[in-house]
Structure 1
Amino acid sequence: MELTIAVEIVCRIVQRAREFEALIPDTDPDDASDPVDDDQLDEIEDDLDEDGNENPAEIELRAIVDDLAEDEQAEVIALAMVGRGTFEADEWADALDAATEEIDSAADWMLGQPTFSTDLEAGLAAFDLSCDGVGTLV
């Protein structure tokens, strides 16, 4: 498997995704929920979604993804799918096919995955690639 997208760009996406994920409050589905807490969480999430100043990492991540060619978007999504275990590394063609179905809303798909940055790094690792020592484009 040879990526058409530069590993540096994938690592930049990982970095921005981590920054985005750090702003999302942790929630435990096993914790009891109450309407007041739910409303407060909804307000936080609404602020993150609606007010770009609240989350520059989301804005930059969307810009990076939107600037990618469709085949590069598919590769990023496929790497995340491999990283989370949906596909094995030797099923790369199948992962790319599945990822192609998501490229119309690639940034939304990525931002909707709670462990996207971790999955993406694990996907790189499945192909003996890493962000360690890779300078990212600022």
Structure 2
Amino acid sequence: MLNTNVLNINPETVCFIILKAKEFQAKEEVTFNEKIPDSEYEYDWSQILADHEDDLTYLEVKKVIEDLEPDQQVDLLTLMYIGRGDFDPNEWSAAHKEAKNNLAPNLTGYLLSKPLIAGYLEKGLEALGYTCQE
């Protein structure tokens, strides 16, 4: 059985990040660099960083994520993996190890480059028995 007390990050912090991700993803008129990236990884980064570096919502969520301890950042990425279906909730340890090995230097940019990140994080929290509903 899954130990639901595995989170080092406060679920309320994750809910705040989810809310800000939804706000950020809902914005219109996003423009992207015309240079064609060499890989899917570069494509994700070019999309998230195109005209977003001074976006207030982006900066707000970036500050929150950068202020997290490294183990909390790993948990955030782990929640994405669980919510995206890469790992079953009972595979928390394996997902956590994968997240630790793949922690991006700019975690905010990496996460927000995923159009469905808010849903992934919500599903990850729900798999552990948490909800963002009041």
Is TM > 0.5 for Structure 1 vs Structure 2?
Answer: yes
Match of 2:16 in 1: 12
Q: Deviations over 1:65-98 (max 9, x none)?
A: 0000000001011001100100110010111111
Aligned equivalents of 2:122, 2:56: Cα separation in 1: 21
Query: Could you say which structure has the larger radius of gyration?
Result: 1
Relative to the length of structure 1, the TM-score reads 0.75
CA RMSD of aligned residues (A): 1.8
Unmatched runs of 5 consecutive residues or more in structure 1? 26-39, 134-138
Q: Deviations over 1:17-71 (max 9, x none)?
A: 111111156xxxxxxxxxxxxxx8427x633x24x1xx21111111000000000
Identity in percent: 30
Aligned equivalents of 1:91, 1:69: Cα separation in 2: 22
Relative to the length of structure 2, the TM-score reads 0.77
Match of 1:71 in 2: 71
Unmatched runs of 5 consecutive residues or more in structure 2? 34-46
Match of 1:42 in 2: 32
Match of 1:21 in 2: 25
Match of 2:128 in 1: 127
Secondary structure at the residue paired with 2:133?
coil
Match of 2:113 in 1: 112
Q: Structure 1 125/59 Cα, relative in aligned 2: closer, same or farther at 3 Å?
A: same
Identify, as 1 or 2, the structure richer in helix: 1
Deviation at 1:105, TM superposition (A): 2.6
Q: Deviations over 1:84-132 (max 9, x none)?
A: 1001100101111111122433112211211100100000111111001
Aligned equivalents of 1:111, 1:24: Cα separation in 2: 15
Aligned equivalents of 1:8, 1:127: Cα separation in 2: 13
